[in-house]
Amino acid sequence: MAQKVTATSRLPAEGRGWPLGLDIGGANLKAADGRGNAHSEPFAMWRESDRLAARLEALLSRFPETTRVVATMTGELADCFATKAEGVAAITRAVVAAAGIRPVWLWSIREGFVTPDQAMRHPFDVAASNWHALATWVGRQVPLGRALLIDIGTTSSDLIPLEDGQPRARGLTDLGRQLQGELVYTGARRTPLCAIPGPVQLRGVSLHLAAELFATTLDIHLLRGDVAEDPDDRDTANGQPATRAGAIDRLARTLCCDRTELTDDELKSLADQLAEAQLNQLLAAVDRQAARWPRGWESVVLSGSGQFVGEALCRRHPLLSTARPLSLADWLSPEVAESAPAHALACLLLENG
């Protein structure tokens, strides 16, 4: 029988050494070693799942001191896999192949650290577990009182309550967490603008955006100046550079026109309206949490590449505006905060031996 290793148990001697945490998503691969080094890169799981092991091996080569690997995932939801169990098994095998002789652990929502065999036997405990790894580690940093972890990434947002250092999420699966308002499928980069609820106002008329992947939330945040331009980044809706000029072209397409048909003021208004609508989605989720925590939270922990959205959320919601803010980007670094679940895994593994 495979040895059961939990978040509070000691690891076997052969499983010790310097760790590397991996967060394997459907659109990004993230790695961190728990001592300030982190790396994130795009990876389209739905198109390239057969290349995952090779990409992970290349990622591991960036951290040559790694002697053991611990992983969490959300990529099992990619539609290249028929079921989540199939996705968990494929990702687990890829991690083991990339790790070579290094011991491998995975994070289980119910058990903490588990072996690859255990992960594949209990796939729903490992699927979409990155939020739980992060919340478990964040709880070490806010061990007393009530806290809310707000992690806003490229694709989705987690709002996880903690009490006396323990995660108090009611949902465990993605579906369960959406039902509880603990997962909101909106992010700072990849969310198609047509998926943001509600019409926009233009020239006194309410219009719905074209139901096409013409533009994403990256574009409105580029136009608003919350995300820096990166001409080398082409991970956009049309494969063109992540610049303000490119964002204007993409945003115009969502109204079935081009840049010559809209004024600068109209483009800015559209970006502001869509950013407000996205924020309202998150405010509604906080309201659902507040019904359970009417006294609010003493601390709010912010992380993820979309932390600026979380900061706006805190300014707007009365129960968040009075809480003590803790920014992982300020405390650690923006790079580590972007890969926060991977960093959390490495730190938790170090804590266990």
Read off the pLDDT of each residue in 318-324 and give the average, rounded to a whole number.
Answer: 95
Read off the pLDDT of each residue in 99-113 and give the average, rounded to a whole number.
Answer: 97
Look up the CATH architecture of domain 145-332. Answer: 2-Layer Sandwich (3.30)
pLDDT at 10 over 70: no
Confidence band, pLDDT 50/70/90 cuts, at residue 1: very low
Q: pLDDT digits over 155-195, tens only? A: 999 999 999 999 999 999 999 999 999 999 999 999 999 99
pLDDT at 3 over 70: no
Read off the pLDDT of each residue in 106-132 and give the average, rounded to a whole number.
Answer: 97
User: Are the beta carbons of 151 and 177 closer than 8 angstroms?
Assistant: no
Q: β-strand 38-42 against 28-32: which pairing, if any?
A: antiparallel
Same fold? 13-128, 145-332: yes
- Look over the chain and give the mean of its residue pLDDT values, rounded to a whole number: 94
Q: How many Å apart are CA 168 and CA 71, to the nearest integer?
A: 22
> DSSP character for 3?
P
Read off the pLDDT of each residue in 6-10 and give the average, rounded to a whole number.
Answer: 40
pLDDT at 4 over 50: no
Confidence band, pLDDT 50/70/90 cuts, at residue 12: very low
- Percent of the chain past pLDDT 90, that is, above it, reads 93
Q: How many Å apart are CA 186 and CA 281, to the nearest integer?
A: 8
pLDDT at 2 over 50: no
- φ/ψ (deg, to 5) at 230: -145, 95
Read off the pLDDT of each residue in 292-308 and give the average, rounded to a whole number.
Answer: 94
Domain ranges of the chain: 13-128, 145-332
Determine the residue type at 292: R
Confidence band, pLDDT 50/70/90 cuts, at residue 16: low
What's the confidence (pLDDT) of residue 352?
Answer: 84
pLDDT at 8 over 80: no
User: Are the beta carbons of 157 and 186 closer than 8 angstroms?
Assistant: yes
pLDDT at 69 over 50: yes
Q: pLDDT digits over 231-244, tens only? A: 999 999 999 999 99
pLDDT at 60 over 90: yes
Q: pLDDT digits over 185-202, tens only? A: 999 999 999 999 989 999
pLDDT at 279 over 60: yes
At the fourth CATH level, which superfamily is domain 13-128?
ATPase, nucleotide binding domain (3.30.420.40)
- 3-state secondary structure string across 109-149: CCCEEECHHHHHHCHHHHCCCHHHHHHHHHHHHCCCCEEEE
